[in-house]
Amino acid sequence: MSYEFYKVFHLTGIFLLMISFGGIYVNAKNETKIKWLMAFNGIGLVIALVGGFGLMARLGMMKAWPTWIFLKLGIWVVFAILPAIAMRKKVDPKLMTIITLAIGGFAVYLVNFKPFM
């Protein structure tokens, strides 16, 4: 598959992930709505991961991974954990939104500037 396909696939997963975060943070107290939002979160995580590895393969980065890719995988793990934190209702949804945006912004910085090659 082409580089463009994997890029669209990856970004679609990220958009699905961000939409699910918004819904989870707003509806953290309503468990019936949370189930399908958590499913969207998991699907978005898988799509983003598959798309990201496809992009790495197209760019020839599968043999030696730069440090920024390990950081992006760490961010992926954090994004997998954030809904569980929100569901425990111990953190304010506004703060969770700011944290998610900050981490997402850092991920975008890593991809665009690749500071640790």
Tokens matching residue 79? 């994004």
Task: Tell me the residue type at 115.
Answer: P
Q: How far is CA 84 from CA 21, 49, 51, 90, in A?
A: 11, 19, 24, 10
pTM: 0.89
| Cβ count within 10 A of residue 80 | 14
Strands (E), the chain: none
- pLDDT tens for the chain, 117 residues long, are 899 999 999 999 999 999 999 999 888 777 777 888 999 999 999 999 999 999 999 999 888 899 999 999 999 999 999 998 888 877 888 899 999 999 999 999 999 998 877
Domain that holds residue 56: 3-113
Length of the chain: 117
Specify the number of domains making up the chain: 1
Q: Which residue has the tokens 């700011």?
A: 98
Note the maximum CA span of the chain.
45
